[in-house]
Structure formats: C-alpha cells, structure tokens
A and B are shown apart, each in its own frame.
Chain A
C-alpha cells in the first residue's frame, strides 16, 4: 500500500461518487471510500438482486405503457405487445375526457410551485433565524416544532378539513397550498445547514458595517445557503407532487385534482357501473407522473445526497 496507489484509488472512487472537483484529492477525516479495496463480483451479484427488486416494477410500468387496452390483456407483462402504442397512449392520456390530464398536470404544478416553493422560503427564513439569532421564545419554538414532527400528519387531516370547511376554503387550491407551506423537516434541515454554512463572524462584521438584517440575509447568507435550499426544495417538491391524502379529503371537484388523485379516479372508473376501463391510460399517466421526479432526482443527486447526510447524521 504505497501512497501512490492509495491516492489513485481514492481519486477513482470519488470521481464516480461525489461531486468531483477539489474534493477528489481532499484528505480530511471525511472518508471518500475504502482505498485498496478489491471489487467483488459475488457481492455485486448479490446486491443486484435488490436492484432487480427496485427496478422491475418501473420496467413493468415502462413496458406496459406501450400497450393498448387489449394489448395489456393478451401479452406477457414483461415483454412488448405486437402493437407499439406508447405515443398513441401519450396522446390519448392528454386528450381523454376533454384533456383533463393536462388540467391535473397544471394543478400539480401550481401546488408544487406555490406550495413547495413557499414552504422552502418559510423554512429557509426560519431555519436561518433559529440558527443565527437569539430571541425570546426560541426554546419554545424548538420544543413545539420538534414535538409537531412526531404528530402523525394524517391525524391532523380531519380537523384541518373541518376548519377549512367552516372557512369555506375546501374544494379550492388554497386547501392544498396552505397546509403544504409548512415543512418541519425542511425547517430542521435548513437549521442544521445554516448553523454550519453561515459563519457568525461574517454576520457580526456586516452588522458593524451597519447593514440591515434582511440586507445581510439576501446579500451574504442566501448564496451560502443555496445548496441546502436546493435540497429542501427537492424534498418539498417530492412531498407536494406525491400528495394524496390531503387532496383526497379536501377536493370534490375533479377540475382541482392533482395528478395523483386524478390517476386514482381513472383507475376507480373501471370498477363503477358503466365506467369505461382505461388501464392503458392509467399506466401511461402513471409513467408520465413519475418522469419529472426521476429526472429531478437524477440531475440533482449531488444535492439530495449531501443534504440528507447533513440532516440524518445529527441526532
């Protein structure tokens, strides 16, 4: 084990794994992987069993999105039918029932942009405030927010519905957006992130120079916080995009449904008397629903991997 081999294998491993750049030759305490370790075919094959388990259903979904309704019933599930109908299915998904799928997609985008975006903004401000300021009631805020994380979210759903119902907010976008604005997990991540990422000394000197707090926040702190913000935004994006229970109880009018609820209603349609079975559209719509998330996760993997690490290692 010479220094050269160790250096080379470290560089090789980290270039494949984390962010690259200057990190490649960093020699801190943080481990980039075992040096000198030989790859094992046996271990790779054993782990590949789990990989098949995680990827098989997604493969099934992609393959079956290429089949017509009749094709679904006459072909083997993990192989293609003789008719390749993917593009026809996509076109049908967007035009079926007067283009309601497009409406659901736009609704989902609205809930994600306003809800997840707003949640990220509030969590960033509050996480920064908790990490960098001392103020009366701070311990109470800490206790309340940590306690709230343990409250089962769905236990709140029925009372929230009744409250919103009394306020006349149900069956409107506000019923989805307002509850999405609070992300205790996002607050916690931003809080841990801001404590490390923004040096208190810089804030002190900005104060001495007479900068106002919000000026300091936008000019100095925000750029330093941006990797954490992307992580929180990504997780809020997933939570809001995948939201099902809240829309289920809040919305009656299909015009306000997000994609998740819409797909469920398409699937349930086959079970109702006289309802047309459109399993090919349910499958194609499902595939279309997960594509943006999968793409976001693949493009932003550097962020969610480090962000989760920051949040989960601390206890």
Chain B
C-alpha cells in the first residue's frame, strides 16, 4: 500500500493523463465550500481589522492602528505568554510519553499489545467537553478524587483548580486527550521500518538501546515533526479546556487566559469585533511562522543526518 519512501502524491501523480478541466468537476465542490468557510472569513477578518467601530462616530478606517494596539496590549501578551509556557512544558512531556509508548508497543515485548494500543488511543474519541468535565470533577474537593484523598488521609492537597495550578491541570487534561493520538502517529511510522535493518543490527550485536538510537529514532523524525507541528497549533489555539473549566474555577480563569479566549471575550462580551479579528489574525500569523520555522529546522536536520 504505502511506503515511507513515496513522495507526496499530488503534483506528479498523473503523468499520463491529459491536462483538461475534467478534474475540476471532482475538486470544484470542495473548493466552493472551502472558499465560503475558509477564504471568505480570512478576507473578511483582514477587512475588519482595518476598521474601528465606535458608538459615537460610527465605523472609521484606521489602517494599522488595531495591529499596533495588539502589539502593545498587555492582556494579549499575558495570554500569549501563558500558551507559550504551556507549549514549551506540556508538548515535550506529552510527545516524550507518546514516544515511550510507541517504542514499548512496537517492541513486541508487551503482553496484550493490541489492548495497550487501543486503550491508550481511546481518550482521543472523548469530546473535549466530556474530558474537561470529567477531570474537572475529579480535581474538585466536593465529590472529586482530591476531596476523597483529603478525607481519607486527613490532609489538604493543593487545589488543582487554584490560579497557581490551573495551567498544570489543563496540561494534564490535554496530555490525557492527545498522548494516544500522538503515540499512534509515531507507532505508524515505526511499523514501516524495514525488518531487515533490525536483523542486520542484531547480527552485528547491537543492543536494543543502540537499535532504538540508530534505527528507530531516525525513522521517527518525520512523524515527530508532524506531531510537533500539530501540537504547536493546538497549544496556541487552546480554548475548550479552560473555557469549560471556567464554570468550575471561575477565579482562576480570566477573560484573557489564552489568546483565543481573549478574542472570544472581545467579540461576545465586549462587542469589539474589529479588535477581536485583529487579535485572531496576529495569533494566526504567529502560529504559522512558528510552525513554518519548526518545519524548516526539522527538515534541515533530516537532510544533514
């Protein structure tokens, strides 16, 4: 079916087909809806970001003013700093756990390999709302596990829903939701490694650690890159988990907890649609730049190895 060596299919896939408009009959419907729900909103938000609406005076063209305002907005940078911290702490932990799991499951040395694979992946099927409510209840001191442990041992554990621990608690929920998904991406990459490489390594007397270091990790480079980029995008978009936890921890989660929550609050509580669109664009551009830089660096290292 597929091999690791195959290049992306599209651009060279049909050398013998004649060039004609027929393909558009297949691609057209997708592109039409795509234009409505992707391209038009992007264009519209750029348009909005150039204006400012005031109660008195109406809508005026303000050029780059909204952008300059975002760049000097302490609440925006506070939100950005929070997701950046989340990114540099949570993503490496999650990907490292996913890597260990993928290596363990791929090693063939576990009892019940397929049970492990399916069970670890299962949280991916759980909606963020349910995952957050579930963990939020468990974090709680009233009928949650923290409360149970406090009663059981007569102690007072730190409250996971307090302002100082809330980001860690969210990191745990996100790790729980996505560690299995990332494991599967890495595991899929390991499965297509040519078997004879391992056989040759063993004949040469290589240890398991050496095989992991010299064969498996290089084979995982591409998949790790993809998992990292998905995780960067996911971290910068953080919204669901803090937004839902807000009802359980109203004091710990502000209206500018993450950039997305900030954009949402600006629009739906503050009616500042122009400024909200600008925040969304700035965050989108930052995300794309960072994802692009990571991709370039990842590919360059790949070429050097």
* Residue positions of A touching B, CB distance < 8 A: 13, 16-17, 29-31, 33-34, 37-41, 43-44, 46-47, 50-51, 53-55, 57-58, 60-61, 64, 72-73, 76-78, 122-123, 125-126, 128-139, 141-142, 144-145, 148, 150-163, 178-179, 181-182, 184, 187, 191-192, 194-197, 200, 203-204, 213-214, 217, 238, 241-242, 244-245, 248-249, 259-261, 263-264, 267-268, 271, 279, 282-283, 286, 289-290, 293-294, 296-298, 301, 305-306, 308-310, 312-315
Contact = CB atoms under 8 A, between A and B. Distances in A.
A162 B267 CA distance: 10
B111 A50 contact: no
A26 B116 CA distance: 24
Contacts of A50: 97, 100-101, 120, 179
Interface in B113-132: 113-114, 116-131
B288 interface: yes
Given A37-B109, A151-B288, A155-B284, A51 B191 contact: no
B23 A54 contact: no
Contacts of A141: 27, 31
Interface in B259-282: 260, 263-264, 267-268, 273, 276-277, 280-281
Contacts of B280: 152, 154-159
B42 to A, nearest CB: 7
Given A182-B34, A249-B268, A125 B27 contact: yes
Contacts of A131: 9-10, 13-14
B237 interface: yes
A294 B147 CA distance: 29
User: What size tier do the contact residues of chain B reach?
Assistant: 35 or more
22 contacts: A17-B113, A29-B196, A30-B192, A43-B110, A58-B123, A60-B134, A60-B145, A77-B143, A126-B30, A148-B38, A152-B287, A155-B263, A159-B44, A197-B1, A241-B127, A244-B129, A260-B129, A283-B137, A286-B134, A293-B125, A313-B4, A314-B9
A293 B126 contact: yes
Interface of B: 1-4, 6-11, 13-14, 16-27, 29-31, 33-34, 36-42, 44-45, 48, 97, 100-101, 104-114, 116-131, 133-135, 137-138, 142-145, 147-148, 152, 176, 179-180, 184-185, 188-189, 191-196, 198, 222-223, 225-226, 233, 236-237, 239-240, 243-244, 247-248, 250, 260, 263-264, 267-268, 273, 276-277, 280-281, 283-284, 287-288, 291-292
B223 A312 contact: yes
Given A142-B10, A155-B283, A158-B276, A181 B116 contact: no
Given A134-B23, A200-B16, A271-B247, A312 B188 contact: yes
Contact of B10 (A30, A138, A178, A241): A138
B128 to A, nearest CB: 6
A76 B145 CA distance: 8
A294 B191 CA distance: 24
Given A54-B120, A245-B239, 8 more contacts: A31-B192, A51-B120, A133-B14, A139-B11, A152-B237, A155-B237, A156-B37, A314-B9
Nearest to A38: B109
Given A130-B10, A313-B189, A78 B145 contact: yes
A261 B277 CA distance: 24
A2 B184 CA distance: 32
B37 A182 contact: yes
Given A17-B113, A314-B2, A213 B37 contact: no
A152 B40 CA distance: 15
A293 B121 CA distance: 12
A286 B30 contact: no
A71 to B, nearest CB: 9
Contacts of B129: 242, 244, 260-261, 263-264, 286
A271 B246 CA distance: 11
Contacts of B135: 57
A68 to B, nearest CB: 11
A309 B45 CA distance: 36
A19 to B, nearest CB: 12
Given A58-B122, A159-B45, A154 B237 contact: yes
Contacts of B26: 125-126, 128-130, 133, 213, 217
B179 A312 contact: no
A200 B14 contact: yes
Contacts of A162: 44, 48, 273
A125 B30 contact: yes
Contacts of B250: 271
B19 A308 contact: no
